């Protein structure tokens, strides 16, 4: 998998009672990270490009990295790149990658992925209730007021859509803009029509 456990230990997509160490993390969460990361990548890349990407990856501990002898295009797709788009007056653009470094804390890189917000969205849906053995229930903690997580699910989905389809600005581009701008490297990518949602949609 690309997505680090630490993606869910801070910020808007924090999962409660989670330590950022992989060795002690809940097996259920690890399963969902791997399941929904693969689902997300197949969803946004299409099966052909997904399969080609996977053949150019190798494990580095728990996490995928691009093989050292892989074509340079896979490093650009995964880790991001800056490039000049000749068809738009040589506009300089930046694709931040499926995986990107966002900070460094105590000499440890903080890594985020495009897939993390999709994973959180699905995880949040799956944990709205718990199976108690006698039916579905909700956990109730002392000194807390229960509230819906649908706003966070909405934010997570919209970040996923932005990173994949719309981009962050005209020069900080989405995955689909990057693939279109580099169609000589990535032949016939499959795009899906992703739509943002509002807080009233979920």
> For the chain, what is the domain count?
1
Taking a C-beta distance cutoff of 8 angstroms, is the pair 198, 154 a contact? yes
Residue 139 — very low, low, confident or very high, per pLDDT cuts 50/70/90? low
Residue 162 — very low, low, confident or very high, per pLDDT cuts 50/70/90? very high
Checking if the pLDDT of 25 tops 70, the result is no
On the CB side of 4, CA atoms within 13 Å amount to 21
Is 190 inside a domain boundary?
A: no
Checking if the pLDDT of 18 tops 90, the result is no
Strand, coil or helix: 110: strand
Is 199 inside a domain boundary?
A: no
- The residue range of the domain holding 113 is 5-129+147-181
Is 19 inside a domain boundary?
A: yes
Checking if the pLDDT of 161 tops 80, the result is yes
Q: What's the predicted TM-score (pTM) here?
A: 0.85
Is 92 inside a domain boundary?
A: yes
Is 89 inside a domain boundary?
A: yes
Residue range 33-49: mean pLDDT, rounded: 96
Is 100 inside a domain boundary?
A: yes
Checking if the pLDDT of 61 tops 60, the result is yes
Is 9 inside a domain boundary?
A: yes
Checking if the pLDDT of 178 tops 80, the result is yes
Residue 30 — very low, low, confident or very high, per pLDDT cuts 50/70/90? confident
**b/e string for 15-47 if b means 16 or more Cβ within 10 A?**
beebeeeeeebeeebeebbeebbeebbebbbbe
Is 10 inside a domain boundary?
A: yes
């Amino acid at each position: 998998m690309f997505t680090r456990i630490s993606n869910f230990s801070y910020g808007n997509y924090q999962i409660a009672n989670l330590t950022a160490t992989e060795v002690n993390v809940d097996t259920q969460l690890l399963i969902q990270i791997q399941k929904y990361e693969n689902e997300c990548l197949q969803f946004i890349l299409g099966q052909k490009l997904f399969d080609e990407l996977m053949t150019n990856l190798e494990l580095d501990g728990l996490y995928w990295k691009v093989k050292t002898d892989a074509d340079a295009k896979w490093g650009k797709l995964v880790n991001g790149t800056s490039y000049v788009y000749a068809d738009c007056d040589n506009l300089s653009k930046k694709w931040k990658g499926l995986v990107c470094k966002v900070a460094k804390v105590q000499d440890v890189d903080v890594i985020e992925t495009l897939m993390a917000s999709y994973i959180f969205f699905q995880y949040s849906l799956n944990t709205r209730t718990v199976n108690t053995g006698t039916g579905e229930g909700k956990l109730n903690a002392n000194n807390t007021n229960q509230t819906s997580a649908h706003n966070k699910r909405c934010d997570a989905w919209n970040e996923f859509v932005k990173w994949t389809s719309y981009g962050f600005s005209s020069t900080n581009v989405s995955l689909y803009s990057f693939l279109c701008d580099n169609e000589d490297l990535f032949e016939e990518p499959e795009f899906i029509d992703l739509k943002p949602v509002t807080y009233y949609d979920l």
